[in-house]
Structure 1
């Protein structure tokens, strides 16, 4: 008789717990749109030039595992050549997230990279709608590289920390 092969049991490996994220809500926290061109009147040909500024903020909420992440966009348009303002849109868009199983040392980048990625399509739609409703062609924002933005902010903080610390 042939020996019966005993099935090899897989070795027990420690189960890695996957991060868990749920969007509990999202909303416009603050928004302002000013059509400067209509208020002051256009003089000559208008060739708009866009400037987009992005800032991020995150804070822990009183409820366990809940965080509020705010994406702040300032989109301003000036007339090329004259630098006269055309419009200014300021939008603070927030999301409430339930986040579990993310190690503490990874929470800060998670909040300022992954959460804004989820909010961004909604920000893009709002910006497009508001600029169109404000009398301009809709502004379709390019994707934002939140990883690069996070790294720039870290570098800026490290420089500020070096400048603030006394040299020995």
Structure 2
């Protein structure tokens, strides 16, 4: 019976697994460089949003993914406020075929992190005295496919932000 138990334990260790080890807010900042004068301006604010994915491998099975979100709001040509947040996660990937790891890092991990990023940015903007900005959903699968197409079009450039394990 002991051999059977050991056999099933070894089988479980060989099964592919993907687990969240930790999700955390790595950094967040808010700037209002033109306050207080711009706060009296009644102009129509314009919103710019940028999101970037940074990935690196910590060890054989652990990957660190950082989703960087930047929200800049301007009135005319002056910045009303700028928020930048780095929402990060540590993900454990075991026994996964190499061709499946890159999509996990470029699609699944950012999809998991994005609601936290969106909430932290909205909270920071609200605490600064503005109406919260609720970021629209991002299709990370489409973004990943777009990056693959860009990488195929420029094979000398390897700046997809996703790092495959060796």
The verdict on a shared fold, with TM-score over 0.5 as the criterion, is yes
Q: Mapping of 1:1-168 within 5 angstroms?
A: 19-42=16-39, 44-62=41-59, 64-79=60-75, 82-161=76-155
Structure 2 stretches of 5 or more lacking a match?
Answer: 1-13, 159-166
Structure 1 stretches of 5 or more lacking a match?
Answer: 1-16
The secondary structure found in structure 1 opposite 2:39 is coil
- TM-score w.r.t. the length of structure 1 is 0.76
The secondary structure found in structure 1 opposite 2:155 is helix
- TM-score w.r.t. the length of structure 2 is 0.77
- CA pair 155-39 structure 1, distance change in 2 beyond 3 A: farther
Q: Greater helix percent: which structure?
A: 2
Aligned-residue CA RMSD (Å): 2.2
Which has the higher Rg, Structure 1 or Structure 2? 1
Aligned length: 145
Structure 1 runs, 4 residues or longer, greater than 4 Å off: none
